[in-house]
Amino acid sequence: MKKKLIVGAVCFLLAGVMGFFGLKLVLSGGASEILGKLFGGKGEVVFDETVTEEKAEEIRGLLAELKLTEDVKIFYSMSETTKETGFLTEILVPTTDFYETKERISQEEFRELVAKNDESVMSVTKLDSSVKLLAVGDEYFLDTFSSGAEFEYLNVEGENTEDVAAVTEALNPKFGGAEEKFPGQTTTLSLVQTGVTALARRMNTKLNEVGDATYFSSGLREFFRKFDLVHTSNESSFSDMATGENICSDPRFLTTFLDLSLDIVELTGNHNVDCGASDAIATVESLKANEILYFGGGEDLEDARHPLKLTDEETHKSGVTVTLLGYNESTGGATSGDEPGANPFDEEDARTRIAEAKAAGDVVIVDMQYYECSEYASTTEDTTCDYADSSAGDQIGRFRGLIEMGADVVVGTSAHQPQTYEKYQEGEIYYGLGNLLFDQSWWPGTTRSLGLIHYIWNGKVLQTRRFGTVYDAELQTRLMTEEEEMNFIERLNNARTN
């Protein structure tokens, strides 16, 4: 009897303790969570008006096996910048005509276009070179990847953090992985192409005067450092014979290259052997020693013929491969065998190499050192050389022919005055870029250059952004002002031949 009383007392005490903690658990909400896990709960998935019925049905299917303890709300929202929460499901960007001169619209204008579902607003995944991407204010999406666009998010909210985590996990296979769906920092290459660089003649004299080779690069260095790879077409070899009269570069000008963060040097120019074969070869060796890539010329014909293939190792971008081809046609300086020089143009060679690169899934850029137009040699604003075919030969036919072979972009790198550009079939043609670093400051046509920034993602050129540079009587190159650049681009547009 005594034992029964003791056992009863213990059971009573335990029941009291369990009741106390049970009440505490109920008050804290923990009981409903436990019961929900045991018996399925009463939580539901709630959608607001931003989710279409079709999309809601799809989401319900993904969540069919989940048992929720509390309601979870799912909705879409738009943001002007990227967020750390939610699933990024779309990126909308403003575009305009390929030939449009304006560069940007305001945030307010862009919001209105988005609200109206204007056709100029498109998914960034559909962006290509047939249209021109605009900046929103000063924010250019392909430079920032976090602004300059409208970002659509699928959001999951709820009182119970475990419910929210479970729903998020279930939706992740379908809606996650934005870094794979959209252009981003790790998957998009920005490649700058610039025109003629010849650090020679009066620039040698100027270097002796200022004593610092970064004098010539100071106006561009910060701009170029924003991008992944920077190219120029160099036309003069480093040589101890450099003077104020010849097209040879003082060896100290290598510092200018490094200060500009040059990654790629094109050697299609017609003056790279002016200082002799040994200096031309030594210049190539100097580029190699400083890990500067080159193409379009070399130590001999075999070296000059090699395409420059940019893979993950060179671009440091996932899934981006680019082939650069460079040719010299009828401007001299080409190699024909064991001697150094530029790569002579051969139509069948171009056709074969373009086809091979396209079969490998590469974006193909072909640079051409073509016949030169000399009417820029005027102290007035002569526009003759603005036009394609203003030089000898069939410039339009040659460049368009390379697009027809499969090239994505064709660039003329011999013109000492910028020439017009055009969209042709699925590709882009820039007939002449002009002079980036040069010494002919007395002719206004030779002081300007058209620069290109190619943004490459997922096997295509998303955009080629155009910019202008100009150098002064002191031989220092700078970026054009916004007004100068707009007038400059409009001038090249006006010279377009259809």
pLDDT in tens, 340-363: 999 999 999 999 999 999 999 999
| Domain regions of the chain by residue span | 45-181, 189-494
For the residues 361-376, what does the mean pLDDT come to? 94
CATH number for the region 189-494 comes to 3.60.21.10
What span, in angstroms and rounded, lies between the C-alpha atoms of 346 and 326? 11
Q: Say which residue the tokens 């020089």 belong to.
A: 341
Instruction: Read off the pLDDT of residues 433-485 as tens digits, 9 standing for 90 and up.
Output: 999 999 999 999 999 999 999 999 999 999 999 999 999 999 999 999 999 99
| pTM of the full structure | 0.90
What integer pLDDT is reported at residue 41 of this predicted model? 57
What tokens were used for 164? 């929210």
Instruction: Read off the pLDDT of residues 73-102 as tens digits, 9 standing for 90 and up.
Output: 999 999 999 999 999 999 999 999 999 999
For the residues 233-253, what does the mean pLDDT come to? 98
Question: How crowded is residue 176: how many other Cβ atoms within 10 Å of its Cβ?
Answer: 14
pLDDT of 24 over the 80 cut: no
pLDDT band at 391 (very low <50, low <70, confident <90, very high): confident
Q: What is the dihedral of CA 385, 386, 387, 389, to 10 degrees?
A: 40
Closest CA to 203 of 471, 417, 450: 471
What span, in angstroms and rounded, lies between the C-alpha atoms of 163 and 216? 61
DSSP E strands, 159-274? 189-197, 229-234, 264-266
Give the containing element (helix H, strand E) for 126.
none
- If you ran DSSP here, which 8-state letter would residue 401 be given? H
For the residues 245-251, what does the mean pLDDT come to? 98
- Phi and psi at residue 125, to the nearest 5°: -70, -20
The CA–CA distances, whole Å, from 420 to 130, 352, 428, 492 equal 17, 28, 11, 5
Please report, as a single letter, which amino acid is at residue 383. T
Residue 335, sorted as left (phi over 0), alpha (psi -120 to 50) or beta, turns out to be beta
Instruction: Read off the pLDDT of residues 176-228 as tens digits, 9 standing for 90 and up.
Output: 999 999 999 999 999 999 999 999 999 999 999 999 999 999 999 999 999 99
* 8 A C-beta contact, residue 371 and residue 331: yes
Number of H helices, E strands in the chain: 16, 24
Instruction: Read off the pLDDT of residues 313-330 as tens digits, 9 standing for 90 and up.
Output: 999 999 999 999 999 998
Closest CA to 244 of 194, 209, 205: 205
What integer pLDDT is reported at residue 498 of this predicted model? 52
What integer pLDDT is reported at residue 374 of this predicted model? 86
What integer pLDDT is reported at residue 490 of this predicted model? 95
